C-alpha cells in the first residue's frame, strides 16, 4: 500500500460512484487556510480563560497589531472560533517575531513591543499541531454483498458520516476540515483535541453504519495522525506524513514498507497469498497510528489497535500515559531510558533481538529502570504492573517508550489549554 498523495480535489473514484457522493471539500483554492493562518495556537488561547497574565497579554497584543498595522504580517480571520485572538498564531512566538523583524524592518518597533508583552505571558504555545487522515477498512468487501437498494442506503449513511465529521472537526474540536466524503476525512487539529477527534470520528462512523446488515462484518475506521511542527510545509510534508500514518494504521507492516522507495513485488504477492489463505495473522486496520515528527531526527511512531469491533477506544492508552505524566508518576527521562534499554537488546548491525533475551529478562530490566526513574518518594503505580506483563519482546519495550514520548507532546498541548505553566 503506497501512501496517498495530497489531494487537489475529491478522488475520482469517489466522485464517479454513488458511494459517499456527498462531499464536503474545502479545497486548496476555496478557503483551506495556509499553515500560518490555520495554526492560531487555539489551545494556548483557550487556556487564557484560566491564566490572567496570558489573557492580558492577548488583549495587549491584539491592540498592538492594530495600532502598528501588523496585519500584513499576522493575518486576521473572521471565523467565530478564533474571535478571542483572530490573528496568526505566529505572533505568539518570540522566534517568529525576530524573523518578522528581519523581513519587515519598518515594523521593528511594533514587533519589539509584542515581544516585551510575551515575556510576562508565561511559556510559549506548543508549536505542534495534528494532521488527521482516516479511511474505512474492508469497504469493498462489505459493499460487494449488497443489492442496489442496500447500496443506495449505504451511500446515504456515508454522506451522513461526512456531515458528522465536519461537525466533530470544526465545532467540537476547533479544527480545520480540508475534506470529508464517504469514509475519507482529512483535517488539521489543535493537538489537545486530536485524540478526542479520533475517538468521536470512530464513534460517528460506527453509528452511521450500524443499521446495515448484509452478512459481512461492518467496516471499521483506520485513523492516521501526524503530529508536526507548525513550520512544516503543508501541501507536501504535513499531508504526506498524515497519509503515511493512515497506511500504518491500516497495516502495521507499512511502517517499514513506506520508508522504502521500491518494494519487492514478489514479496507483496507472497503476502497477498498469505492474506487470502489466512496464514498471515497480522491484524489489519481498525487502529489509530500516531507519527510524531520533531524538527530533527526520525519520526516516533506508535500504532494502537482497537481490538475486536469498535467497543474499545485505542486512544485511551495514550490518555492513560498523559494522566500518569501529569501526576508526576513518570519522570521526563523515563521513556528515553526505556528506549536506550531496548537498543541494548538488539544487534548493532542486524537490528534483530539478541538470542539470549527472554520476556522475564526484559521485565526485570524494565522494572529496574522504572524504580530508578519514578520520581523520588513515589511508589510504582498499579498501571505499570499490567504494562510490565504486556512486554514480551524488545519491540514491546520500544513501543512503550515511544508511546510515552508521544504522550509528553499531547500533555504539553493539554497544559496550554488548561492555562498551566509548564
- pLDDT (tens digit, 9 = 90+) per residue, 56-70? 999 999 999 999 999
Same domain, 291 and 412: no
Same domain, 186 and 65: no
Residue finishing a domain among 65, 99, 118: 118
Residue 403, domain member (yes or no): yes
3-state SS assignment for residue 135 = strand
Q: How far is CA 161 from CA 19, 117, 225, 226, 251, in A?
A: 12, 44, 19, 22, 23
Residue 36, domain member (yes or no): no
Mean pLDDT is lowest, of 57-71, 113-127, 308-322, for 308-322
Strands lying side by side in the sheet with 287-292: 24-25, 176-181, 184-190, 128-137, 220-229, 287-292, 300-305
3-state SS assignment for residue 92 = helix
**Dist. CA 232–CA 213, nearest whole Å:** 43
pLDDT in tens, 318-328: 888 898 888 88
Set of cell numbers at residue 126: 506548543
Set of cell numbers at residue 67: 495600532
**Dist. CA 219–CA 286, nearest whole Å:** 9
Note down the domain range covering 67: 42-118
CATH number at residue 250: 3.30.70.270
Residue 417 has pLDDT above 80, yes or no: yes
Same domain, 412 and 288: no
Return the pLDDT at 129: 92
Same domain, 197 and 295: yes
Q: How many domains does the chain have?
A: 3
Same domain, 249 and 142: yes
Rounded mean pLDDT of 195-223?
A: 82
Same domain, 351 and 404: yes
Look over the chain and give the mean of its residue pLDDT values, rounded to a whole number. Answer: 79
pTM beyond 0.85: no
Same domain, 213 and 188: yes
Same domain, 85 and 137: no
Same domain, 65 and 199: no
Same domain, 209 and 276: yes
Same domain, 365 and 288: no
Same domain, 360 and 252: no
Higher pLDDT, 298 or 14: 298
Residue 113, domain member (yes or no): yes
Higher pLDDT, 28 or 352: 352
Amino acid at each position: 500500500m503506497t501512501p496517498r498523495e495530497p489531494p487537489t480535489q475529491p478522488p475520482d473514484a469517489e466522485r464517479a460512484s454513488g458511494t459517499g457522493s456527498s462531499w464536503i471539500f474545502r479545497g486548496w483554492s476555496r478557503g483551506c487556510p495556509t499553515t500560518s493562518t490555520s495554526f492560531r495556537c487555539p489551545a494556548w488561547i483557550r487556556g487564557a480563560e484560566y491564566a490572567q497574565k496570558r489573557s492580558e497579554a492577548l488583549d495587549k497584543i491584539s491592540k498592538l497589531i492594530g495600532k502598528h498595522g501588523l496585519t500584513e504580517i499576522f493575518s486576521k480571520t473572521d471565523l467565530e472560533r478564533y474571535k478571542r485572538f483572530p490573528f496568526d498564531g505566529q505572533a505568539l512566538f518570540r522566534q517568529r517575531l525576530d524573523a518578522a523583524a528581519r523581513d519587515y524592518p519598518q515594523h521593528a518597533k511594533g514587533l519589539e513591543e509584542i515581544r516585551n508583552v510575551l515575556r510576562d505571558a508565561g511559556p510559549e504555545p506548543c508549536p505542534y499541531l495534528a494532521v488527521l487522515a482516516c479511511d474505512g477498512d474492508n469497504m469493498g468487501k462489505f459493499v460487494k454483498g449488497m443489492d442496489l437498494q442496500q447500496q443506495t442506503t449505504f451511500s446515504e449513511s456515508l454522506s451522513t458520516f461526512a456531515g458528522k465529521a465536519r461537525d466533530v472537526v470544526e465545532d467540537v474540536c476547533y479544527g480545520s476540515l480540508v475534506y470529508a466524503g464517504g469514509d475519507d476525512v482529512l483535517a488539521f487539529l489543535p493537538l489537545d483535541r486530536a485524540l478526542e477527534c479520533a475517538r468521536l470520528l470512530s464513534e460517528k462512523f460506527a453509528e452511521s453504519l450500524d443499521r446495515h446488515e448484509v452478512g459481512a462484518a461492518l467496516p471499521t475506521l483506520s485513523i492516521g495522525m501526524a503530529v508536526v511542527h507548525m513550520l512544516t510545509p503543508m501541501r507536501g510534508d504535513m499531508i504526506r506524513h498524515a497519509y503515511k500514518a493512515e497506511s500504518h494504521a491500516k497495516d502495521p507492516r507499512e511502517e517499514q514498507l513506506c520508508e522504502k522507495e521500491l518494494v519487492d513485488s514478489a514479496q507483496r504477492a507472497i503476502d497477498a497469498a498469505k492474506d487470502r489463505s489466512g496464514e498471515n495473522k497480522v491484524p489489519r486496520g481498525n487502529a489509530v497510528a500516531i507519527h510524531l515528527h520533531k524538527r530533527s531526527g526520525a519520526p516516533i511512531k506508535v500504532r494502537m489497535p482497537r481490538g475486536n469491533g469498535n467497543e474499545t477506544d485505542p486512544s485511551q492508552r495514550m490518555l492513560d500515559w498523559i494522566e500518569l505524566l501529569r501526576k508526576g508518576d513518570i519522570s521526563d527521562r523515563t521513556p528515553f531510558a526505556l528506549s536506550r534499554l531496548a537498543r541494548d537488546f538488539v544487534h548493532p548491525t542486524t537490528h534483530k533481538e539478541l538470542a539470549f533475551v527472554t520476556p522475564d529478562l526484559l521485565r526485570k530490566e524494565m522494572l529496574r529502570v522504572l524504580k530508578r526513574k519514578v520520581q523520588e518518594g513515589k511508589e510504582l503505580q498499579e498501571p505499570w504492573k499490567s504494562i510490565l506483563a504486556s512486554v514480551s519482546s524488545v519491540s514491546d519495550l520500544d513501543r512503550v517508550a515511544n508511546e510515552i514520548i508521544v504522550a509528553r507532546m499531547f500533555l504539553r498541548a493539554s497544559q496550554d489549554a488548561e492555562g498551566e505553566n509548564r
